[in-house]
């Protein structure tokens, strides 16, 4: 039986990724004024409406409506439902503990220069190159059969199918193509569909052939280990891949709300399990090690959070 792997990718103008970008722009704005801001913002948008919901505790106050309007324009009605972090959660975070329980996955493989799965790297690269010509809402999908490209799918707003197909064929040879399969389309983004931050967790991570912990990334500060722990897990996976000259490394972390150290920290190096040692895996330790105080989180809102030359990829 052939080995078949498929991965999709979406452009930055996809409704969900627009919402991720708004969430991380808000996060960056708070951190720029107060580096210790605690932020967990969710964004839903579509059809001339944007809704902000979540928790923020900060020493600064921001005009969130103005920030969102800079991204989406003046035609949107913006609703905000932001409250301070609950005292129960804050009590655990104040002592340096994790802001929530959860499982985080890190992964690295030697099959691509970016140390990402091949199907993921190909899908992202194709989507990026199409987006340079058609900077709109769009999706691609790449299927590998025994590591060879077998099926390529591409659908982009405001593209002409013949031109798009010619471009895709030149960029990525394949046995089969499906280009704008439902026809050419001009209505896209938040005008055509609703978007939600944190909905593209598989694209944000490693594609569908690697497990995800379940937590989303965008709109969350470092105390939310859904994000910082996942970044650290990737860094550990990269380190162990290089140290052991391995083919694949899968790292698993698990945290309890209010506790500094994870209750699980293991690595599968070429599918042999071993404990993780030598890293400070507390939230503050992760922030320091990965230099998250200096990082602009909105830079990770589009094109995935891994395999892009960030600190945790090196």
Taking only the tens place, the pLDDT of each residue in 61-91 is 999 999 999 999 999 999 999 999 888 888 8
Identify the pLDDT of residue 126: 98
- Please list the ranges in the chain whose pLDDT falls under 50: none
Identify the pLDDT of residue 83: 94
pTM over 0.85: yes
| H-helix or E-strand spanning residue 156 | strand 148-156
d(CA 45, CA 191) in angstroms, rounded, equals 9
d(CA 164, CA 121) in angstroms, rounded, equals 20
Identify the pLDDT of residue 189: 96
Mean pLDDT score across all residues of the chain: 96
d(CA 248, CA 268) in angstroms, rounded, equals 8
Got the DSSP string for 17-75?
HHHHHHHHHHHHHHHHH-TT-EEEEEEEEETTEEEEEEEEE-SS---HHHHHHHHH-TT
Identify the pLDDT of residue 191: 95
């Amino acid at each position: 039986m052939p080995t078949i792997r498929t991965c999709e990718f979406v452009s930055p103008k996809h409704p969900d990724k627009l919402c991720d970008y708004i969430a991380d722009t808000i996060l960056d704005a708070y951190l720029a004024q107060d580096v210790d801001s605690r932020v967990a913002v969710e964004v839903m948008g579509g059809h001339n409406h944007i809704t902000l919901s979540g928790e923020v505790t900060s020493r600064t106050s921001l005009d969130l409506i103005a920030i969102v309007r800079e991204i989406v324009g003046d035609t949107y009605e913006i609703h905000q439902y932001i409250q301070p972090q609950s005292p129960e959660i804050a009590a655990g975070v104040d002592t340096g503990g994790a802001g929530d329980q959860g499982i985080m996955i890190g992964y690295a493989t030697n099959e691509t220069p970016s140390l990402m799965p091949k199907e993921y790297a190909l899908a992202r690269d194709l989507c990026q190159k199409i987006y340079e010509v058609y900077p709109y809402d769009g999706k691609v999908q790449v299927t590998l059969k025994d590591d060879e490209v077998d099926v390529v799918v591409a659908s982009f707003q405001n593209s002409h199918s013949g031109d798009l197909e010619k471009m895709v064929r030149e960029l990525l040879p394949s046995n089969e193509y499906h280009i704008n399969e439902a026809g050419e389309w001009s209505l896209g983004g938040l005008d055509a569909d609703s978007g939600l931050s944190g909905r593209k967790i598989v694209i944000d991570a490693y594609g569908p052939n690697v497990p995800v912990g379940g937590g989303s990334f965008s709109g969350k500060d470092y105390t939310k280990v859904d994000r910082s722990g996942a970044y650290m897990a990737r860094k550990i996976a990269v380190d162990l891949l290089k140290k052991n000259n391995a083919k694949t490394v899968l790292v698993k972390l698990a945290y309890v709300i209010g506790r500094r150290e994870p209750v699980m920290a293991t690595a599968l190096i070429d599918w042999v399990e071993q404990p993780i040692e030598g890293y400070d895996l507390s939230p503050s330790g992760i922030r320091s090690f990965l230099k998250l105080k200096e990082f602009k989180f909105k830079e990770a809102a589009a094109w995935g959070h891994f395999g892009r030359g960030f600190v945790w990829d090196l």
